[in-house]
């Protein structure tokens, strides 16, 4: 079986971590016949390229490696506001026209977006860069909720580590589940991570400095209480209708939605920072039952409380008693 040719693009400002992810996954030795033939390619007329952390990179091949590659990997682009070099954009367009599969990691999506190849298509991006990508390329269907998007001949990943998820996914597409699991075991990572980016995005609330602001503070301090709208309206000394209108003016959301998100925040904090049981977390965060807590974790984070805790809380082995 002939090896599958992969060209990993390098250029000034390339992210070394993302470059290294692709090199490590696709360049693994002893993976059997037909494994990937990897080339790091760049503009050799310019000589060495300087990475985002000032490491100098010497490409093994020039941009002509894109001509016969089956897959091109585009690692992160350092300056998302700058236009990538014209010759790289031309090479990517030509490669795609020949049927080459193109995959981007993190901000590498801005390079591919500049070619126009993502116009009208769905693409993943890091949650912190989603608004910038939407603003700069409004014709792209930006998805900042997932770890990666597989759109057939074009794939994209969210944050840097999500590039690892994407690369393992590509292995699974090319060689099957067993090979993908083998790669994951060798790298000591999960072959599939549950959930998307939502569990990693910090929730920011805008400050409210008025009577409603005082009520919001009280709600945060009493999430385990019965926070029915009628009770809150009574506490705020307003009619139900007036309370809902004032609440939405202050927060931009309906009371029930805001309270649910605050309870989610508190539950996440308890799971990360305490040893409280799942039952205790459900009670202290105001969800009441484990089933309700699990429902909201699945709906908002695409995971469950136990897996969330395993992801964010380090467990320490009990100290062995010495005799």
Mean pLDDT by 10 residues, the chain (323 residues): 82 87 92 91 72 76 90 89 90 95 94 95 89 94 87 90 90 90 84 59 52 83 91 91 88 88 89 89 92 90 85 54 39
DSSP secondary structure code for residue 202 in this structure: P
- pLDDT at res. 145: 79
What domain count does the chain have? 2
203 Cβ partners below 8 Å, 6+ apart? 261, 264, 265
Cβ-contact 20, 55 below 8 angstroms: no
**Residues 255, 305: one domain?**
yes
**Residues 101, 223: one domain?**
no
Please check whether residue 111 lies inside any domain of the structure.
yes
**Residues 56, 91: one domain?**
yes
Please check whether residue 203 lies inside any domain of the structure.
no
Cβ-contact 81, 115 below 8 angstroms: no
**Residues 192, 60: one domain?**
yes
- pLDDT at res. 323: 34
**Residues 62, 162: one domain?**
yes
Closest CA to 130 of 47, 188, 74, 200: 200
Expressed as residue numbers, the domain containing 90 is 5-197
**If you search the block for the tokens 């020949």, which residue do you land on?**
98
Please check whether residue 297 lies inside any domain of the structure.
yes
Task: State how far the Cα of 40 lies from the Cα of 62, in Å rounded to an integer.
Answer: 8
Closest CA to 103 of 206, 217, 25: 25
Cβ-contact 62, 42 below 8 angstroms: yes
Helix axes 290-301, 305-312, angle to 10 degrees: 60
- pLDDT at res. 53: 65
Six token digits for residue 110: 């801005």
**Residues 171, 272: one domain?**
no
**Residues 46, 193: one domain?**
yes
Cβ-contact 232, 220 below 8 angstroms: no
**Residues 20, 99: one domain?**
yes
- Residue 274 backbone phi and psi in degrees, to 5: -130, 170
């Amino acid at each position: 079986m002939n090896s599958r040719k992969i060209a990993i693009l390098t250029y000034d400002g390339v992210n070394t971590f993302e470059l290294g992810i692709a090199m490590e996954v696709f360049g693994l030795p002893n993976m059997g016949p037909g494994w990937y033939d990897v080339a790091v390619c760049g503009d050799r007329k310019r000589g060495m390229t300087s990475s985002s952390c000032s490491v100098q990179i010497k490409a093994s091949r020039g941009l002509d490696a894109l001509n016969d590659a089956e897959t091109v990997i585009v690692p992160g682009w350092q300056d998302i506001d700058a236009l990538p070099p014209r010759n790289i954009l031309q090479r990517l367009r030509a490669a795609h026209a020949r049927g080459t599969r193109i995959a981007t990691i993190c901000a590498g999506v801005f390079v591919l977006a500049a070619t126009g190849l993502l116009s009208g298509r769905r693409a993943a991006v890091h949650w912190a860069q989603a608004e910038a990508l939407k603003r700069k390329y409004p014709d792209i269907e930006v998805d900042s909720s997932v770890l990666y998007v597989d759109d057939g001949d074009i794939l994209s990943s969210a944050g840097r580590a999500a590039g690892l998820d994407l690369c393992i996914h590509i292995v699974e597409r090319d060689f099957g589940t067993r090979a993908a699991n083998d790669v994951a075991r060798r790298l000591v990572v999960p072959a599939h991570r549950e959930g998307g980016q939502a569990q990693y995005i910090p929730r920011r609330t805008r400050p409210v400095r008025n009577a409603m602001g005082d009520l919001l503070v009280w709600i945060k301090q009493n999430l385990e209480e019965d926070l029915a709208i009628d009770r809150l309206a009574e506490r705020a000394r307003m009619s139900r209708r007036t309370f809902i209108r004032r609440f939405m003016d202050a927060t931009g959301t309906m009371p029930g939605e805001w309270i649910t998100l605050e309870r989610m925040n508190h539950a996440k904090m308890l799971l990360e920072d305490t040893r409280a049981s799942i039952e205790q977390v459900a009670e202290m965060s105001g969800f009441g039952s484990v089933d309700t807590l699990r429902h909201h974790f699945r709906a908002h984070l695409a995971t469950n409380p136990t897996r969330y805790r395993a992801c964010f809380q380090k467990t320490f082995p009990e100290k062995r008693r010495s005799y």
